[in-house]
Amino acid sequence: MSLNLALLLRESAKAHPEKTALAVGDSRLTYEAVDLYARRFARGLRTLGIERGQHVAPLVPNVPHFTIAYFGAHYRELRG
């Protein structure tokens, strides 16, 4: 069984929902928010027809959105 990083995010969101998970400048996102946005991203990928096991390459600069896309891809069990 391989480690799915989205499961670690989910557990962190359950254990520490209001704790800061991501900070960029003055902006902060909690574990709960990152988990919520990552799940929404995963649903969007599913809606687009992207199936588990497919390869993806997120073309996102080093911004908070990358983290959300990264965990969203893990929720869909995609390959990078």
* Residue 1's pLDDT band (cuts 50, 70, 90): very low
Q: Enumerate the domain spans of the chain.
A: 5-75
Give the span between the Cα atoms of 23 and 68, in whole angstroms.
13
Class of domain 5-75: alpha beta
Tokens 């965990």 sit on residue: 71
Q: Does the model's pTM come out above 0.85? A: yes
28-59: per-residue pLDDT in tens?
999 999 999 999 999 999 999 999 989 988 88
Contact 11, 34 (CB under 8 A): no
Mean pLDDT of the chain: 91
Residue 56 class from Cβ within 10 Å (0-12 exposed, 13-18 middle, 19+ buried)? Answer: middle
Give the span between the Cα atoms of 73 and 71, in whole angstroms.
5
Contact 42, 72 (CB under 8 A): yes
